[in-house]
Structure 1
Amino acid sequence: MSPLPIAMDAVPRVLKWAVGGLVGVQATVISTLVVADMVRRRRVPPPRLRHTPPTTVPVADSSVTTYTSGGDLYAAMLSAVQEARTSVYFETFIWKDDAWGQRLKDALVDAARRGVQVHVVFDGFANLVVPRSFLRFPDLPTLHVLRFPTVRPGVLTLNVRKTGRDHRKLLVVDGRTGFVGGFNIGSRYESTWRDTHLRVEGPSVWELENAFADFWNDFRDDQPEIPDTGAAEWDARVRAARNAPNRLLFPVRGLYLEAIDRARERVYITQGYFIPDSEILRSLVTTARRGVDVRVLMPEASNHVVADWVARSYWSELLRAGVRLFLYQGAMVHAKTATVDGRWTTVGSANIDRLSLLGNYEVNLELYDADLAALMEKIFATDLDNTRELTLEEWERRGLLPRLAERVLRPLGPLV
């Protein structure tokens, strides 16, 4: 008898051993990194963050205010809810049961009690550690609450339409004032994280109002539907890009690719978690090689140590192409922003990683305006003062163990 069947039978066993071995090594590396990160956090002193004051510029027929401080943002959001007359649409990923979280909850309930139609959405999985009592609301006819499911069925059936977390951060009041960006709700994010949010006032608020309404109507179950009004005005200088896995729509990734491809002078990107897929990586490398000043600002140590180490596996290719990497020091920078050539800007909830660009529900505003781009470049310059630049020479001097850890963890890129 030919030995081929025996050899063929051995192949699945060899594959199982190889996969099992890789998973075991990854688990060991992850455990080591997590323990080391816990020790590091105990030693890190409280950060002293530099903020750019809230600044308003006209964009199209609307006004846009940029916030880099949680205290300024939360005060503005709270004031908007307290002054609401007809409607409040609020959506968040994380909502902590602390001072700011409670103040916002009280304001939403008070608005509903005075007759305002209040719609609230929060992600169930992201708030598993938040006490259930905090996320309970009084039974009021004008208060409508949607807890986005903790477990999505598509995770088990590999159905993309039924996966993804609600990672969006939105507030729209009376169809006149809208907020969008990277800030979750909580005192921690006010004082120890650097993030960016926008407030929009004017006709372009419809972009955010419609983003909320479409999401609510897709997942409302037996809750009342929000009417679809259509846009009273249509100005392409301000547009909302919404990733919606249930519709297989992922435009945020596309807007990044298109803007980077158009760049002739400079690309400035700030990201909390920067794990580019192959196309975004290729686009950044190609753009830098043709002489564009491409800079990426990210935390040297984020709140997710595994994501940090997965990201490191892309740094060699970026640095060799001339992309400049700036590592934020002593604090978590969580902003999701970019500006190109002093013309184009995006601010929103989506990170440049697979979960945000091809997995979660996200919303980014895309704005084409020179004054806003100039402000974003000013904010980028302020943040640069709290970074150190990682050079190719320094990076290539790293030891063998870090190189092995990067290689072992890189396959996890699509999962983080």
Structure 2
Amino acid sequence: MSSAPLEEPRVEHLPTDQAIREPGVADIEYGWQGNNLVKLLENGEDYFPRVFEAMREAKTEILLETFIVFEDKVGHELQQVLIEAAQRGVRVTASFDGFGCGELTTGYLTALSAAGVHIQMFDPAPKHLGFRTNWFRRLHRKIVVVDGTLAFIGGINFSADHLGDFGPEAKQDYSVEVQGPAVADIHHFALLQSGRPARAKYWWQRRRQRRSELALSDHDGQVRLVYRDNGDHNTDIEEVYRQVLRTAQRRVVIANAYFFPGYRLLREIRNAARRGVDVRLILQGQPDMLVAKLAARMTYDYLLKSGVKIYEYCERPLHGKVALVDEDWSTVGSSNLDPLSLSMNLEANVLIRDRVFNQELFDRLEILSEHHCKAMDPEKAPRGRIWHMTVGFLVFHFLRHFPAWAGWLPAHKPRLKPFTHLAGDDRHGPR
């Protein structure tokens, strides 16, 4: 089999950008579902054994969406697990991002396709003069649903750099495993994203969701899926953050890899600290991209002067996208708090109302901030706040409107393209 890098596929059917964005779900907002079991998975050491075990035990279906797969030991294990599942009759659908998975070889994908795995590439594009052209509007979600009864969602990609033995560049990250009624919503969402038909939400399901909204005082096991697209739900995740910050009473902890939010969200963070809430941010001190650190530091003086505590995690790159408010609300997912995630990428988070989960996440973040982070001193915050915030304003709002401008260009009309292996075709290329 060829090992050439992935080339521009030849396809028979190219769905429209609207169909890819959220095919058939433009008006769907998922409600709270109760009585779920939610387990926090920290780093690849927790995540990979559990998700691979679930895939090996799959009976009928595996749905996978991911931003990155590398052909390393994790990527090869994923390939083998999916091949074995497909060969025993499990329907496997894998959606890969064309940028994050752009270095996968044709041979890697052909082996999956030949075994019966349904592969879809989101906006694949060849390099031009050695450079990628599909930087924006990425499929950034990380979702796995097995047999419609078990779901994983978070920020962990299928790559060895999420394992501690990768070395100093190993990422610090989080995901969750969900079992219970909320999996039906995650499964429904993932089905629609893959282009496959999903049953409509019937009236009794909607009524059940409304009842669960009224039962939030029970807290335990409440889960809700929220997502961001480039259509009707383009600000949902950001709005959830602003809402919970406005109602926070005692504590807020946000651990986020790429932190450069808009002014409304920054203002809610500042206001929470001003009214006496213990607000802590855990951000990158050893970033995988220097620009992430520089952008985040533009906000430090504004936040520190208002009483926000900022910690930089310096042991290795922070890749997490998690937060908690008070003693019962938490979120884990793929969305950073930067213009790419809040304005461009396709993202998904779960919201969790569960005191036990909240406390476990708080304890782990407390260990991170107290023992592995450097606390920023308010007296030594970067000066020149007006200049920094002016630059930040211009950069953020340029990126905020960039998707609309980029959408006019052919190179930025994302498409979900099927990869098809044809037996006897010596090209073995994407179709």
For normalisation by structure 1, the TM-score amounts to: 0.76
Q: Given the alignment, which residue of 145, 150, 155 partners 1:182?
A: 155
Checking the alignment, whether the CA contact within 8 Å between 1:116 and 1:142 is kept in structure 2 is no
In structure 2, relative to structure 1, the CA distance for the partners of 1:347 and 1:277 (3 Å cut) is same
Kindly report which structure 2 residues correspond to 1:192-203, keeping only aligned pairs within 5 A, or say none: 192-203=170-181
Letter in 2 for 1:216: S
* Equivalent in the alignment of 2:219: none
Checking the alignment, whether the CA contact within 8 Å between 2:188 and 2:198 is kept in structure 1 is no
Checking the alignment, whether the CA contact within 8 Å between 2:62 and 2:145 is kept in structure 1 is yes
Q: Given the alignment, which residue of 313, 318, 324 partners 1:339?
A: 324
Checking the alignment, whether the CA contact within 8 Å between 2:227 and 2:233 is kept in structure 1 is no
Kindly report which structure 2 residues correspond to 1:308-387, keeping only aligned pairs within 5 A, or say none: 308-384=293-369, 385-387=371-373
Checking the alignment, whether the CA contact within 8 Å between 2:42 and 2:174 is kept in structure 1 is yes
Relative to total residues, which structure has the larger helix share, 1 or 2?
1
Letter in 2 for 1:123: D
Letter in 2 for 1:386: H
Letter in 2 for 1:177: L
Q: 3-state SS of the aligned residue for 2:311?
A: strand
* Equivalent in the alignment of 2:198: 227
In structure 2, relative to structure 1, the CA distance for the partners of 1:62 and 1:248 (3 Å cut) is closer
Letter in 2 for 1:413: F
* Equivalent in the alignment of 2:380: 394
* Equivalent in the alignment of 1:213: 191
Q: 3-state SS of the aligned residue for 2:305?
A: helix
**Structure 1 residues 92-101 or 185-194, which shifts more?**
185-194
Q: Distance in 2 between matches of 1:170 and 1:136?
A: 22
Shift of 1:211: 2.0
* Equivalent in the alignment of 1:12: none
Aligned-residue CA RMSD in angstroms?
A: 2.4
Shift of 1:333: 1.2
Shift of 1:150: 3.0
Q: Distance in 1 between matches of 2:281 and 2:43?
A: 21
Checking the alignment, whether the CA contact within 8 Å between 2:43 and 2:156 is kept in structure 1 is no
Q: C-alpha offsets along residues 38-63 of structure 1, whole Å, 9 cap, x if unaligned? A: xxxxxxxxxxxxxxxxxxxxx93221
* Equivalent in the alignment of 1:40: none
Aligned residues: 338
Shift of 1:90: 0.7
Kindly report which structure 2 residues correspond to 1:5-404, keeping only aligned pairs within 5 A, or say none: 60-139=34-113, 142-150=116-124, 164-191=137-164, 192-217=170-195, 225-228=196-199, 230=201, 234=209, 235-236=212-213, 237-384=222-369, 385-396=371-382
Q: 3-state SS of the aligned residue for 1:308?
A: helix
Shift of 1:380: 1.1
Larger RCO (CA under 8 A, 6+ residues apart) = 2
Q: 3-state SS of the aligned residue for 2:106?
A: coil
Instruction: Give structure 1 regions of 4+ aligned residues with deviation exceeding 6 angstroms.
Output: 402-407
In structure 2, relative to structure 1, the CA distance for the partners of 1:138 and 1:353 (3 Å cut) is closer
In structure 2, relative to structure 1, the CA distance for the partners of 1:199 and 1:404 (3 Å cut) is same
Q: Distance in 2 between matches of 1:249 and 1:124?
A: 21
Shift of 1:131: 3.0
Shift of 1:122: 0.7
Say which one has the larger Rg: 1
Checking the alignment, whether the CA contact within 8 Å between 1:112 and 1:140 is kept in structure 2 is no
For normalisation by structure 2, the TM-score amounts to: 0.73
Q: C-alpha offsets along residues 138-163 of structure 1, whole Å, 9 cap, x if unaligned? A: 445852111001359xxxxxxxxxx6
Checking the alignment, whether the CA contact within 8 Å between 1:267 and 1:341 is kept in structure 2 is yes
Letter in 2 for 1:412: V
Where in structure 1 are there 5+ consecutive unaligned residues?
1-58, 153-162, 218-224
